[in-house]
Each structure stands twice: as structure tokens, then as C-alpha cells.
Structure 1
Amino acid sequence: MEKSVRVLAAAVLGTASVYAVVLTFRQLYKHFKTQSRKRQKRKRTNLEIHLISTPEEWQNQLVMLTEHLKIMKVVGLDCEWVSDHTTGHRSQVALLQMATTSGLCLLVRLCHMGSMIPQTLKDVLADPSILKVGVAVKDDGKKLTKDYGMVVQGCVDLRHLLTRVRHKYKCDASLQGLAEGVLGVTMDKRREIRCSDWEAHTLSAEQVAYAAADGQVGVDVFTKLVLTKLTGGDPGDLVWSMEGVDLEDVRRLARAMCQGIVDIGYRHSGTPRRTQTSAKQTEKPGIEKGRAYSARARPLYHNCQLQAPDGQPLCTCDIRKAEWYIEKQLGDKVCDMPLTVRLRFEPSGRPESESNYYLQEKENVCVVCGNDDTYTRKFVVPQEYRKYFPPLLKDHRSHDVLLLCPPCHQVSSNHDAILRQELAVECDAPIDSGPGCRSVQNQDLMKIRSAAKALTLSRAQIPEARVNVLEKTLMDFYGVTSLTDDLLETAIIMDTRIFNSDYVPHGKKVVEHFKQKAELWAFERRWRKNFVETMKPQFLPPLWSIEHHHNGVQSTH
């Protein structure tokens, strides 16, 4: 490659012949072709593809699938369907692809089975212990549920898993991008195949190869990410051979890495999906149009477990915190499902009983409507008040951090605004006006800026006597004997606001008001009650309560 670059540089500089230029491009072409061949050689070669169109054919392959799942209970899952290019209408899922880590790929033609879909196929899809991996795999599961009534559980979006390999691989979020960035292979995504007739009586060889690749690449990316975590580097051809690797270690790590992201949809940070349903929701009365809330790209609850040195459960936590204790040798891993870490030190406090909110597993769903597609954090007691609480109450704020979908979050925020106004009056704590402002306009500075604007923009229309007064005002202020254009421009853009020395933030003043009356807990309770009464949540976590106290709970962090 270096030689090619040198020859090309020489040609461009005019020190080589035309022949050398031609030779250079041939060498470059040969180099890239060789590199491409090397990359293609990394593709799996032991694929075993079976087309299934009848229940009998499925039953014949079920035994083989069961044997493959004994190695790793993971399948790459994808779906194909036919769409009307004019209306955009989607037909029922025509083809279901399932691929195993060891190369078995089953292409199930659901469009040919109709109402005769085998129960054993439904059981495989509904089994949460069998992980279904892919890109937007949860959305594929929803299509199968809608079209055929098949429940799909155990879905793991590969984009969630990618974030758990310390961002070693930087690639596009599509399956094609993951294949290129993680596996180093290029997928055939030609439109004429991708958008072909998947309900045809006979699928072409290109359609079969395309469908098999979609399923197999998904499970291979999953395996590569797990092995990367296991080996601490690029596992190379282990993805296909798995020689010399303890499969039990791979299984345990795979389950641990999926902790908290099973059956969780993926959304890019700040870009929640705009669906027909969500569009209707945003038209609900009380929702402020134009206000945006950033949906989470990752689940909030991972439900990893922390234990005291004697094994007593302390609390649940996210996977990063659990891994941090292990990496810093402050704790030891006890098991993978759920990921459980036993601390090596005595925590500063322990739960008084097992019926403790902080020990409960929590679902990543909107607590009001149950939407599990997109959600964002809701601080039941707003941060503008919580940050002025005593340290114990600030440290244990997680009880009052819940998940809401963006439409519900907007409605809740509108209700919060009403309570804020009530508190502003009750506690004599203005929110954004009058003496409650952080800064105020200085009248003297405003006169200087106004004089400069008048002289710059309207001098010709101002009487000479008034011009003299304005000029004298500016010269006295700046201590000069004449005015320049630069000085006038400086006066025009000056900041006329000054800090209000009497300013006390609304949140601080409200909290101080309730502190003095020893009613801080009542203040918390008031916000919780407001949330419950205005939003009527149907999916609150277990043991969440309006009456919750932090007494007896100490931080282990």
C-alpha cells in the first residue's frame, strides 16, 4: 500500500510516466480487491439453510433446532413482508428467519401456513429463556403478535448490547452497519431483493441467501460482542469455530450482558419514533404542543442486585454500577441472572426488612399508560426543590424517579406547573418575576443604551438641543470629551442587567419554608399525591407509596 501511494504521488507531481499512473491504479485496485477477499473469507461458510412451508416441515426441523439451542439458547430473528410502494401499506409477515450460533438457519414461510402455525413454533417464540437477537427485533415481535397472535419474548436489540463493549466498535446502527463494523463483512442490501415478493410461490436463490444472511448476521454479531467482552479484544474466528472457549463462560456472560435490556425497544437519544399512535396522543387536551422530551436510548432499570458481605440483599442497581464494584475489586460476582454482586466491605446501612422498595425489580414501562416503547424520567418531586433537601433525602431520590412516555410526561408537567404556582403564593416565593428574579434591569444603564441607539439610528430626526443632551449623557458616563462610532456601538450592545443581591431561588425558598415548619416529608408527600391524583398511574413499581419514608435507609454508594 505504501508503495502504491508513493507511485501515485510521484505521478501527480509529474515525476512519473503515464504508464506509472496506470500501474498505480492497477496496484490500488488489486490491493483493495485482495482486502475485500480477505474480509469475505471471514464470512460464515457452514450455513445450513432450510425452507419451511408446512407444519410438517417445521416439526422435522424442530429436533435439529432443539439440539442447536443446547449449545447456546440464542437465535437471530428477522422478518420479511411485502409493502405496497404506493400506499405504504404492509402485508402480514411473510417470512420468519431464525438462525443459531452454530449455523442452522430456518426460513419459515408463515404466509403459506396461514392458520396452521404449529404450537411448538409459538412456544419457541414465547420462551423468554431463548434470546431473540437482532436490530429492532422487538418491533418484529410486535408484527408477529399483530399478524398471527404469536407472543415473542426474550428480545435483545443488538444496539443496546453494543454499548456494553466499551464502544470498541464504532458503526452505523443498522444491521448492515453492525455487520460491517463488528464482523467485517458486507451484506447484500440491493433494493430489488430487499423489496421483492416475499409471498411468491417459490423464492429465488437470491431471496433465500438474503433472508438467511439477515438472521445469521444478527446472531453472529451477538456472539462477537459477547466474545469481545470475554476475551478483552478481537476474538477473530472464534465467532464461527468457538474452539478452545469454555461455552459455560460464554453462556453466563451472554446472560449477564443482556441484564436489563431484554424485551426493551431501542430509540436513538433525543429522537423518539413518530408513530400514528403517538401522533394521536400528542393531540390530547392539556398537552403543550411543541414541547419536546428526550426519550431514553437505554433502559433505566437493569435490576442488578447488590448484597452485603453476609449475603443480605441491599438494593437493585444498574449494570454499570455493578460492574464498577467488580472492576474496582470492591465486590465479587455471585451469579449472572440476575447479575448479583456481593460487596467486600460493610455498607453504611442495611434495609430493615425484605419488604423494601429499593430491593424490588422494576419494569421499564410508562407508569401511567404502560407504554414500553419510549419513555423518559419523571421526577415526582422536581429537581428544583430536591436539590435543596438534606443529603439523606437527596441521596435516596430514586423512589421518586419514575418512567413516563413523552405524551404522559407533558401532561404531568402541566399539572406540576399548577402546583408550583400554588407554592409560589403559599411560600411567598415568586417563580420568574419581580424581586424573585436572579437579575434585574438597571434603569441607569438602560438610559445609556437608549441614548446610544437614538444617536446612531435617529440622529437626523432629533432636535439639536436633544442631541446635545444625549451626547453629554454618554460622555459623562464614559468620562470622555467626544463620542466615536466604536463607543456608540459598545453602548448599544451593553448588558443592562445586574445581579439581584436579594434573589433567592423559588425552589430554595419553598424548601426553607417547609424546613422551618418541620414539614419536609409532608412536602414530598404532597408532590406524590399530586402525581397520583392527576395522572392516575396504573403501572407503579411494587411498594411505591405516597407515604414512603427514607428513615433507616443509608446509602451504600
Structure 2
Amino acid sequence: MERGVRVLTAAVLGSASVYAGVLTFRQLYKHFKTQARKCQSRKRTNQNIHLISTAKDWQDQQKTLQEHLKVMKVVGLDCEWVSDHSTGHRSQVALLQLATTSGLCLLVRLCHMGGMIPQTLKDLLADPSILKVGVAVKDDGKKLAKDYGMVVQGCVDLRHLLTRVRHKYKCDSSLQGLAEGILGVTMDKRREIRCSNWEADTLSVDQVHYAAADGQVGVDIFTKLVLTKLKGGDPGDLVWNMEEVDLEEVWRLARAMCQGIVDIGHRQSGTQRRTQSSAKQTEKPGIEKGRAYSARARPLYHNCQLQAPDGQPLCTCDIRKAEWYIEKQLGDKVCERPLTVRLRFEPSGRPESEHNYYLQEKENVCVVCGNNNTYTRKFVVPQEYLKYFPPLLKDHRSHDVLLLCPPCHQVSSNHDAVLRQELAVECDAPIDSGLGCRSVQNQDLMKIRSAAKALKLSRPQIPEARVIVLEKTLMDYYGVTSLTDDLLETAINMDTRIFNSDYMPHGKKVVEQFKQKGKLWDFERRWRKSFVDTMKPKFLPPLWSIEHHHNGVLSTH
């Protein structure tokens, strides 16, 4: 079996600016033989960088990529896009960079694929066993999910990994800072390249080299940190002790080092949460900062029983609801375990048979993996849509509230993002841009603020004629004949966003369209099917069904 590790350091390369242009030199440790493992080096050429603009281009490189990921299942991941600096809005991700530990770099031009993203590329990104490493790589994954409906799992932020080799390196938290502090190389971050047109018909040589370097340096940093942990000692001497490294051993250590930091945003590290928890003892237990949801401190299902006056079972309910009926003298306790309450009034409806979802006892476990230690509520149909449902559907939404452990909840949320994006396109209901924005930038106000900033911060460098124009712009707007420092400060701090009169929340617009077509039940069913197909739950409550229809459920107060 061929095994090997490539390590990149300034000591080996003899250059501190290897990433400044083309990826010129790299020390490639590979082909360690069973009997005699020998280090070979070669010069990096453009043959390792491949531009992917079509599905066929991807297929041509897919097998090679799979070979590179046989043992070291890790890729450096980065994205490039075009931003409108006048509005602050960004376009869809134009370029996806993927780089392996052995030097293959694929530059996938998503903006030129016409939405025909190969399924094998989607599968690669969604595979949690293949680590995607970089700085803010989780945020890049969110952009890909929003723009193209691609779920990205297995993200490892290099800043978290750095904490696993404490005191070995001193560097700032940017990718450039990590490259200098860990690899001893200087990256080319010229603005004219970084902010260039990544959607151009043809990328320039500088753009290709810049993009390849951003992808490759992430996986190089990952490798160096793992090897630092493996070998110990002085990182500067690391490269000279590599000849006896077993690549499978490196991968096992890499997986171990990544435990607890996979798919965690930089502000959500376990270390940070523990530190905050110890510093703030008054915070409620079970609530983790940085999550959009909190783990439950008590069971969701108490399986209390509610009966009609003649003793017919009506439904199971929460203990607080059962106690409320007793407290308000609307029912009587007939049994302690399970707590059973018999109503004193005739309910407006009764179950049609005993085979009813709302009569079944439910377990407090994750419906996907069965974890019964920590769980949180999962709204199969997200609340941003539910709140616009008719009252009957909202009253009986408990069918679509399930329990998931935090890891499964995160994975499910990633899949939800894909379906949300599909609905946004299908219903012409933008999620957070264009008509989907509650407020928009007012171009006239932005000009006023820009003029004030220029006069306040750069007046000496501005030609006199231009100064006169800027001053007139401000004086006309405020209706004054002279400018003061206070007025300039007011203009600089002004809010340039105005309410968008065409705004309609994404969730409301989607629900309204399905309601008008009389297909709201199909909408519910679509979310349930998506949940079952993507998560494959093994512990669903009895009688839970994709086909569950609320019209057959009558209220029991």
C-alpha cells in the first residue's frame, strides 16, 4: 500500500512567499513503501489545478479525487463570490475550491453550471466522513446551502483545531495569519485579485493561483497541525522527522483531534461554551449559547391521559395541561400514574377510533438515533410557515413536533435549508434579499453619508473642486449654508436603510401560494417526506405518518 504525507514549511521550501503567485514549490512526502519508505519531492505545476465549468469536467476529475481521499478523507474548502460594494449584497457563490492533502486542487465554477450541479459533488459535500477544513468553512457551507441547496457537513474550522496544539504556534485568526504562523508562508491577498470578477467568462492566471492557494493552504495547515500533535517537540523540526509516519495513523489522529469541533461555528466552540458557563453561574442549565435552540432540561412527553365524561380516551397531553383542567374545575383526577383527567363537559369532538396518533404514548428519545440523554424539539414544518397556517392546523400541530438530539437537529436543519431554497425559487419568495428584505438601502442617503465620510476623513487628499461639490450635496440635503463637525458626524452615523413597502416574509408568501391553490396539505406532506427521506428516523412515535391529515382530527379543547 502506498502511504505518505506532504508537509509544507518555509524551512523546506526555502521561500516565505510560496503562495504569493502560482503554487510554485511544495515538498511532497508520498509513496512510503512497505520495505523502504523514501521521501520524494517535486515541483508543483498547473497540472494539479483543474478548472471545472461543466458536469462533464467534474466527472473527468471525480475518480482522481476519490483516489486522493481513500485514506486522508479531508479537503480544503473555500468559496469566492462577487459583492456589490454600494449595497453590501453579495451574488451567489461563483467559485468553489476543493484541495486534497496530496496536492489536487479543483476549482468548480458553480456560476457557469446553470444550476446543473452534479449529484456526486453534492454527495461529497454532504458526506460527514469527509472533513472540509478552512477558516469560517461553516459559513461557506451556509452560503452553498442558501445559493445552490447543497448541504455541507463535516466542517472543521482551523481555529478550533489550533486549540488542540496549544502554545505551539502564535498567529492571528485569519487564514493569512494561520499560514504565516503555522506554515511560515505569506499569502497574496491583493485587493484587486480578492475582489475581482469571479463570474468572468475566463479567469485570469492570477485569479486561478489565488483561488488554488486559498483552498490548498487550508488543507496544508490542517496537515501540519495534526503532524505537530503526532510528533510533538519543536514544530520547526517536524519536517525532518517524517520518514516513519504512517498515513493511516495520521488520519486516525486527525479524526480524534476533530471530535467535538465538527460542524461548529467559530463562536460556538465547546471550550468557549464551557468558559462562559463557568463565568456565568446564573445562566439556566441545559441552555447552550450560540445555538438557535436549547436542549430540554425535562421531558417533552408526560403521556398524561385526557378522557371524555363517559371515560372514552381523548388524547395524551402535557402534565401542565392536565393540572390546568383540575385547577379550573373542568375535570377530575381519576388516576395518578399515569395522571388521568376526566372532563366534566362534553368535548367538541372525539377520536374516530382507538388507532389515533394523539392517543399513543410517546418516548422521550431522539427519533433519528434513539439518544435519550439530551434532545430538543424539531418542528418538521418550520415555524416560519406554521404561523401563517389556518387555526385548525395550528391547533393540532403536535403531530409534527418531534424530538431530536442536538447533532441530529443540526443535520436536519441543514436539509431544511435546501428545501427552503427550493420553495424560495418555486414561489418567487426570496429568503433575505430583494423583495424578501424588510428594509433596503436608499441610494440617495448612501451618497449623503459617503460625502460626509469623505469630508470628515479625507478632506486634505480631495481636490478643491470635488470638496465644493461634496459640501453642496450635504448643505442642500440639510438645508443649511455651512457645515459643522456635528452635522458631518450626524451624516456619517445616519441610517441609510428604509422600509421596503413591497416586503412580504418568505414564509407568508409561500403559505399564501399553497393556500390559494388548495394544496396546503400537500405542503405539510412535502416537509414530512423530506424529513423522513433525509434523516431516515428509526424511532418515530407509533402511528406518526407522512399522510397524517388534520381534517380528520377534531378538537378536544
Q: TM-score, normalised on structure 1?
A: 0.48
| Structure with more contact order per residue of length (Cα contacts < 8 Å, sep ≥ 6) | 2
